[in-house]
A and B are shown apart, each in its own frame.
Chain A
Amino acid sequence: MVTARFLLVLGLLLGTGSAWTDASGGSPTPAGFRIGVISERSGAPSHAIAQYGPMLDYLQDALRHTEIAVSELAVAEHLEEMRGWIAAGQIDALFESLIPSLKLEIETARIRPRLLVWRKGQRVYRTLFFTRQDSPIRQLQDLRGRSLAVESARSTSAFFLPKLTLEAWGMHLRPEGSRRSPEDILYSFAGSELNQAYWVERGKADAGAFNDGDWTRTPRTLRKRLRIFHRTPPLLRYLLSFRTDLPASIREPVEAALLAMHKDAAGRGTLTRASRITRIEPFTDADRAQLETWRARLADRPH
């Protein structure tokens, strides 16, 4: 009698508990198709949910003839969290920029980029290194021993790529306050591309690095006081990766729906809302080649 009741209560608790965790956008349930993103604003997953919500609804509508149920967006606060979910097989698809996507692929071996996502009107972008007009810095090598303003830890074009680029040139990038040698380049997170520009202009950092899109969005008043001194080759901007063991019966309809989404105005609207996605398209051969290159590069580096 007592045990039965105890078990019942336990069962209820577990049930409600799982419901609770569901509601907060925690670990996904095995059923349904779950898309994940890493939050641009830390501590505000609801922002991302609001952004992607319409797109998911549209996707679900597009998939209504199938048995696929589009689950709520999974929003991770940082890369590590996402890694854990992917490793657990709870994420079926991931929207993320190139380097974090490849990193996750390498680290978890459970996802793989499959589609290219145009974002903010760009399918590729490049990183620009800039400094003040009157700065002595003329080339990358001149950065030795100086400070670099980067955006945030998860930014590809404004952190990862500059870092990789500098390291490829044999320079070391270390966080602020952790100088080991006089030639170390100290980086500091400015928080936003705008701040990067301001910091450099005001001398809070010797140089900054962000993508070409960010450069166009920098206020002219600032831009005219800044100077680009290095450009990287173009990088695929945004990728959609799928779980590797996702059945094709699920993956293909979803892919088809996503590829078609930009074709009508409603779909375009939802894509725009979901972090300004312009369209989703399959990789070209050149894209794949670039991916391979980057895979190799990233795999070499211990992280």
Chain B
Amino acid sequence: MPQTIRGRLALHFTLLITGLMLVMLALTGWLGYGMVNDLRPRLQSIFAETQTLNEKNVLLNSASYLSEHLFPHLYGLDVSALNKEIDLVREWLPIQSFVITDANGRIVTDGSLTNHGYGQPHPLPQEPLPGQPILESHPESSTLSFAVGADNRIAGYAVVALSRAALQTSLHMLDEQVTRQWERASLSLLLGAGLILLLVGGIAAILIWRVAQSLSQPITEMVAAAETCANGSLDIALPVRSNDELGHLARALNTMAKELRVSHRRMRHLANYDVLTGLPNRHLFHDRLRHALHAADRNARQVGLMFLDLDGFKTINDSLGHGLGDEVLKLAASRLRETVRASDTVARLGGDEFTVVAEGVHGIPDLLGLAEKLLAILARPYRIQDHQLQLSASIGITLYPRDGATPDALLHSADSAMYEAKRRGKNAYCVFTPELDLNSQGRLSLERHLEQALETGQLELHYQPQVHMASRRLTGAEALLRWRDADASAQPGELIARLEDASIIARMTAWVLAEGCRALAQWRSQGLPELRLAINLATQQLTHPDLPEIARDALADSGLPADALQIELTENSLLNSTSSRQSIERLQGLGAQLAIDNFGTGYSSVVDLHRLAIDTLKIDRSLIQNIATNEDSGLITAALISLAKQLGIRTAAQGVETQAQWSVLHAQGCDIAQGFLMSKPLPADQLLDWVQIYSRTADQWPKYVLTQPQHFTASSA
């Protein structure tokens, strides 16, 4: 049995048709044969009859002719002449015997010289009369008897025996002929039938093969196309040959491949481009930079690299929210893109960091001009959603191959230069000089800055209210680290996560905790007795062996009970690390509360949550952002809230910025809300004010949107 559709179809149908043909031909042949068989004897009998009739007529006519001819000779007894006449007759009649008798019926001559029967009586069947010959027919011979004479004078009689052998021979020959013809005909019929069978079979096979092929070929093509796609090459284009199921399938496969191609392209694009601004991302930037450096090597040109950081962006992000911050970034990005040359590349490295790769430059002066332009364009006001904002940038400028041999080195140099620019007062550019680059100072500078900031009082804590949704009362405040110098505001954990020096980390942690507890103590004594302090800690902080002591000390110094402190950890902090667990246990042992920050985006297990006696789950802002618009986010948060409830854990929502979000969360049963809808992070002294002002209007929440249009100057010195 053949293995292909084509083969099977072809075989079956060919067999079917051939079978049918055979049956038909057999039937026809059998009928034909029967008919001919009937025909033969009938033919023979007709022929025999006709022959006999002919014979008869001939003979009867011959009789009269012969009678006339023989008469004078018989009358004159000219036996020689009689014999001669008989010889003549033998030539045109099949004579077996020719006997001439006298009037008395005695043989005169039998045509032979020997004349054996001379004088003997010859039997006459009857006595024929002149002009009335008698013809007797027997199977083998006929006998013609006639009177030799005219009118009344009879000279004698003639009895002619004619062999019918001729007729028999003719019949036999006819039979033979017919048989031979029939055999020949039947042979040629058979041959013809065989040929027809072959022909029809052949044609049928060809047609069926083609039909099967028209089926199996598209399928084979599709199989090949599917395999091609599976192997990674989505560049398939199946021919749509027909408007049937196969055609639909081909079209569908083509569409699928196209969609896949499109999505792959999009993914590739995503891999290379920043979603928000559309600029090349870090990955593509590095690629472009490498390429530019190689090109520069080939063409003996130089490449300029600028590292751009937006001043005060973090402030905007914190105060006005990430949505607005994103808009700012987009605008800044487009301004940058429009300003640079077509051959230059602007990339967003992340956050508010941008780079510019300027190819084909001849020296620093080219870059300075560009930097000026960029500063100017970025400094123009940004009008977003009724806000008018202003930004500036700090730019670090480096030149290849002067300031670095590799892309990383170059970037590093640019980064250093950028920091220098910031240090010098921002809204400035700084060209890299070797003194700025101290390899180990990349990270160290941050730490040193931090240290410096700490010592000079550049750091301060801001607090974002955490509101109980049901009662709309202030239940807690999350402490955020604000760095006045770098104009950066971040969760302490985030910032500290960048540090490596354990001692700095410890010092920072201690400071944060102490400062926070101090503020809290003050608030508690000023009318918010139940208020709690929430502090975000990085994993490094958590695993620091001294953490529990630091915490205890801070609490003790401020005179607060341990449950006034809520430690906020990321999900990943809980992962597997025994030191983390130990720390957590020790903190809990103190009495501090535990909250999981950015919940829903990490790798925690429900079992762990329950076992670790987590107090609060803070749902990640990314889930909150889409909660009102995206059905899935809503489902997820609902599920999380429900899960937490079942486990007896409180839920808090981060980044609540709209009324709709509040409504949904409230409906889903979330306990606590934190975000710009209530308040931006406030300095310690403003918190009480906020409480006073807005506690009055608590019953009107969430109608009030905290952030009133304000002129917000980031570059205030």
- A interface vs B, CB < 8 Å? 190-192, 194-195, 198-199, 202, 204, 217, 219-222, 225
Contact = CB atoms under 8 A, between A and B. Distances in A.
Contacts of A217: 113
Interface in B77-129: 77-81, 83, 108, 113-119
Nearest to B106: A202
Nearest to B118: A221
Closest 3 CB pairs of A and B: A192-B80, A221-B118, A219-B115
Contacts of B115: 219, 221-222
Given A192-B78, A217-B113, 13 more contacts: A194-B79, A194-B80, A194-B113, A195-B77, A195-B78, A198-B77, A198-B79, A204-B77, A219-B118, A221-B114, A221-B115, A221-B117, A225-B119
A217 B80 CA distance: 13
Contacts of B79: 192, 194-195, 198
A222 B78 contact: no
B454 to A, nearest CB: 162
Q: Which of B81, B114, B115, B117 has the most CB of A within 10 A?
A: B115
Given A219-B113, A221-B114, A191 B119 contact: no
Contacts, number: 36
A120 B590 CA distance: 175
Contacts of B83: 194
A195 B118 CA distance: 13
A221 B113 contact: no
Nearest to B119: A221
A39 B90 CA distance: 27
Contacts of B119: 221, 225
A199 B77 contact: yes
B484 to A, nearest CB: 161
User: What is the interface of chain A mostly: helix, strand, loop, or mixed?
Assistant: helix
24 contacts: A190-B78, A191-B78, A191-B80, A191-B81, A192-B78, A194-B79, A194-B80, A194-B113, A195-B77, A195-B78, A195-B79, A195-B80, A198-B77, A198-B79, A204-B77, A217-B113, A219-B115, A220-B114, A221-B116, A221-B117, A221-B118, A221-B119, A222-B115, A222-B118
Contacts of A220: 114
Count class of interface residues, chain B:
10 to 19
A202 B79 CA distance: 12
A225 B120 CA distance: 13
B98 to A, nearest CB: 16
User: What is the interface of chain B mostly: helix, strand, loop, or mixed?
Assistant: loop
Contacts of A204: 77
A217 B79 CA distance: 14
Contact of A202 (B77, B80, B116): B77
Contacts of B77: 195, 198-199, 202, 204
Contacts of A222: 115, 118
Nearest to A222: B118
A202 B155 CA distance: 14
A191 B81 CA distance: 9
Q: Which of A194, A199, A220, A222 has the most CB of B within 10 A?
A: A194
A220 B118 CA distance: 10
A96 B78 CA distance: 25
A224 to B, nearest CB: 10
Nearest to B109: A198
Contacts of A202: 77
Contacts of B78: 190-192, 195
Contacts of B114: 219-221
A225 B116 CA distance: 13
Nearest to B112: A219
A84 to B, nearest CB: 30
B22 to A, nearest CB: 70
A199 B78 CA distance: 8
Contacts of B113: 194, 217, 219
Contacts of A221: 114-119
A128 B158 CA distance: 33
Nearest to A192: B80
A194 B392 CA distance: 167
A204 B76 CA distance: 9
Nearest to B114: A219
Contacts of A192: 78-80
Contacts of A199: 77
Nearest to A217: B113
Nearest to B80: A192
A18 to B, nearest CB: 36
Contacts of A219: 113-115, 118
A194 B115 CA distance: 11
Q: Which of A204, A221, A225 has the most CB of B within 10 A?
A: A221
A204 B77 CA distance: 9
A215 to B, nearest CB: 14
Nearest to B79: A198
A221 B120 CA distance: 10
Nearest to B113: A219
Nearest to A221: B118
A246 B644 CA distance: 171
